Amino acid sequence: MRYAVRAGDRELTIETTPEGRFLVGDRVVAADLAEAVPGRVWSVVVDGEAHEVAFLGDDRVWVDGDEVRIDIADERTVAAGRAGGRAASARQELRAPMPGLLKRVHVAEGSAVHEGDALVTLEAMKMENELRAAHAGTVARIAVAEGTTVEGGALLIVIRSE
């Protein structure tokens, strides 16, 4: 099976062989992988270089003291990505990261937003938190009204990128 892996700011194409070896790009890598904490921490030694990798969350990884994102796609997903992958990412959903009170909505449906624009103010943990747009786009939908108390994970705003 072939995988496209993004780890931090690097992209790797890795093919696993039935003998348990790895083809990274066109280089065969003899890696010694040991699971130190089941499902959580791996020790990886490649040519004497020792690394420790801990999984922190959905796509967050700790490696040798640095925290990076990881994204793994297999060859089918990679192939499909040209068509479907893009379309999916064109729709951006802003969800409440925690329960709180939606104090203010700074945008209207149909308005254009730039990356980093404040979308709403959520009061939670005794603080007002401004939630911002991750990408530019157009506000397609405002799902919750100002003054509403929302649960963590509740959909707040939908933005369409193209």
Partner 1 sequence: MRFRKVLVANRGEIALRVIRTCRELGIATATVYSDIDRLSPHVRAADEAYPIGGAAPRDSYLHIERIIAVAKRAGCDAIHPGYGFLSENADFADAVAAAGIAFVGPPGTVQRALGEKTSARRLAAAAGVPVAEGTMEPLRDEADARTVLERVGYPVLLKPAGGGGGKGMRIVRSAAELPAAWRAATGEATTAFGAPALLMERLIEHARHVEVQLLADAHGTVVWLGERDCSIQRRHQKLIEETPGPSVDDALRATLGAAAVTVASAAGYVNAGTVEFLVAPDGAFVFLEMNTRLQVEHPVTELVTGLDLVALQLRVAAGEPLPFGQPEVRRSGAAIELRITAEDPFAGFLPQAGRVDFVRDPSGPGIRLDSGLAVPLTIPTEYDPLLAKLIAWGPDRPAAIARARRAAREMIVAGLPTSLPFHSFVLAEPDFVAGRYDTDYVARHWDHPRTPEITEGAALATALAGLARLRAGPRPFVGDTTPWSRSAREDMLR
Site string for partner 1, 117-146 (x = CB under 8 A): ------xxxxxxxxxx--------------
**CA–CA distances in Å: residue 161 to residues 39, 103, 140:** 36, 25, 10
**Smallest distance, partner 1 to C-beta of residue 139, A:** 20
Q: Which residues fall within 8 angstroms of residue 5, CB to CB, at 6 or more apart?
A: 11, 12, 13, 14, 70, 71, 72, 73
Number of residues that bind partner 1 (CB under 8 A): 70
Burial 38-49 (b: 16+ CB within 10 A, else e): eeeebeeeeeee
By CB under 8 A, residue 39 contacts partner 1: yes
Q: Which of residues 78-97 bind partner 1 (CB under 8 A)?
A: 97
**Smallest distance, partner 1 to C-beta of residue 28, A:** 13
Q: Which range touches partner 1 (CB under 8 A), out of 56-64, 79-87, 137-145, 154-162? A: 56-64
Q: How far apart are CA 104 and CA 35, in angstroms?
A: 47
Angle at 161 between CA 155 and CA 162, to 5 degrees: 140
Binding site for partner 1 (CB under 8 A): 3, 5, 7-10, 12, 14, 16, 22, 24, 29, 31-46, 48-70, 72, 74, 77, 97-100, 103, 123-132, 152
